[in-house]
């Protein structure tokens, strides 16, 4: 679909009907800037406006999408092309709406965190005369923004960016928190190994989801079964540093439940995808 051709057609029809951009916009309850963008080919009308716009300009929706008037009855092949154009247009407008929403969410998220960091800094300076406790929330806010912004702004496409940010910044984040609390050795001894284990789990989980996204039962089974050795390794590392028992009865219960549910999901998935010839 040619946006420039469509825009020129809208401008031609508007002038033929002796309407200004503001008058046309008034009939559609939009701004004249939106009409100007249409006519310059910078954007396209929302799919919900196609009917009212075509009516205001005295053409059909198909003619509006095609960017020209039809002088005679359309052939079946041409009608199919118009249908494809309408579907393509609907898909583009839907994607554009989602992208606009993601952009707005990204801006609101960033501004909210920036305001939160500013409030913490101002309160700390006003009360303590300098930066003391405010480093905790400020560094946490920076870390949270770097990790969450890609997935908020770009949706599923931003998952890899969020994971990359988490992988790069998690250990520095733990180190800074350790410095602020005066527990660098303890934080590095417990936090770094646990963080590496958790990161490995997350990367594998995302790859598994990407590969088997059409088999959610299998994905759930892998998540649960992988969580068992992850919990064992984290508990072992904490117990090694603190000289405490590696697991208690609640840890054992949670691992048993995850293992049982994971195996159940795996069996159900295998049964659902079992070929008919295998059951004979």
How do residues 157-209 score in pLDDT, each as one tens digit?
A: 899 999 999 999 999 999 988 888 888 898 889 989 999 999 999 999 999 99
Is there a domain that residue 272 lies in?
A: yes
What are the structure tokens assigned to 23, written together? 């008058």
Q: Which phi and psi (to 5°) does residue 18 adopt?
A: 55, 50
CA distance 213 to 220: 10
- Distant-in-sequence contacts of 251-259, Cβ < 8 A, 24+ apart: 255/228, 255/231, 258/224, 258/225, 258/227, 258/228, 258/231, 259/224, 259/225, 259/228
Last residue of a domain, one of 19, 35, 66: 66
What is the rounded distance in angstroms from the CA atom of residue 71 to the CA atom of residue 176?
72
- CA-CA distances (angstroms) from residue 61 to 37, 57, 141, 239? 19, 10, 49, 70
How many domains is the chain partitioned into structurally?
2
Q: Which of 151, 172, 169, 166 is nearest to 109 (CA)?
A: 151
Distance CA 86, CA 5 (A): 15
- Residue 238 within any structural domain of the chain: yes
Cα Rg of the chain (Å, integer): 29
Decide if 254 contacts 224 (C-beta within 8 A): no
Each residue's pLDDT tens digit, 52-91: 888 888 888 777 877 777 655 455 555 556 656 666 766 7
The whole domain housing 248 covers 203-279
Residue where a domain terminates, one of 66, 89, 109? 66
Q: Give the dihedral of Cα atoms 108, 113, 118, 124; nearest 10 deg.
A: 150
Record the pTM: 0.62
Tell me: pLDDT of 47 over 90: no
Give the residue-averaged pLDDT of 258-265.
95
Q: Cα separation of 136 and 183, whole Å?
A: 14
pLDDT at 207: 92
User: For residue 257, is it within any domain?
Assistant: yes
108 burial class (0-12, 13-18, 19+ CB within 10 angstroms)? exposed
The pLDDT score that the predictor gives to residue 83 is 59
Asked whether residue 265 is domain-assigned, the answer is yes
Query: Is the residue at 136 inside a domain?
Result: no
**249 within some domain:** yes
CA nearest 22: which of 13, 12, 10, 34?
34
Residue 32: give its domain's CATH number: 1.10.260.40
Question: Alpha-carbon distance 62 to 70, whole Å?
Answer: 9
Task: Give the position of tokens 């008034």.
Answer: 26
Q: Which residue has the higher pLDDT, 48 or 212?
A: 212
Residue 111 lies in a domain: no
Residue 213 domain-assigned (yes or no): yes
Mean residue pLDDT of the chain comes to 86
């Amino acid at each position: 679909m040619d946006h420039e051709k469509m825009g020129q057609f809208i401008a031609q029809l508007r002038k033929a009907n002796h309407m200004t951009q503001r008058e046309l916009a008034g009939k559609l309850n939009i701004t004249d800037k939106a009409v100007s963008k249409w006519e310059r080919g910078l954007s396209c009308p929302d799919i919900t406006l196609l009917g009212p716009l075509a009516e205001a300009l005295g053409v059909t929706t198909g003619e509006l999408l095609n960017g020209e008037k039809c002088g005679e009855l359309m052939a079946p092949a041409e009608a199919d092309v118009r249908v494809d154009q309408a579907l393509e247009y609907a898909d583009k407008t839907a994607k554009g709406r989602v992208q606009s929403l993601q952009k707005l969410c990204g801006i609101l998220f960033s501004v909210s965190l920036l305001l939160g960091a500013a409030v913490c800094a101002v309160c700390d300076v006003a009360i303590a005369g300098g930066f003391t406790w405010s480093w905790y929330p400020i560094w946490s806010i920076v870390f949270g923004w770097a990790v969450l912004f890609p997935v908020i702004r770009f949706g599923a496409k931003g998952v890899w960016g969020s994971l990359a940010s988490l992988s790069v910044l998690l250990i520095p984040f733990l180190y800074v928190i350790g410095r602020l609390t005066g527990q660098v050795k303890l934080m590095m001894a417990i936090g770094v190994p646990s963080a590496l284990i958790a990161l490995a789990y997350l990367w594998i989980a995302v790859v598994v989801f990407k590969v088997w996204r059409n088999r959610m039962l299998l994905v759930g089974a892998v998540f649960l079964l992988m969580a068992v050795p992850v919990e064992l390794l984290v508990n072992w590392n904490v117990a090694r540093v603190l000289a405490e028992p590696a697991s208690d009865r609640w840890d054992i219960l949670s691992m048993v439940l995850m293992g049982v549910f994971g195996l159940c999901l795996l069996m159900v998935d295998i049964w659902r995808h079992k070929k008919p010839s295998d059951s004979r």
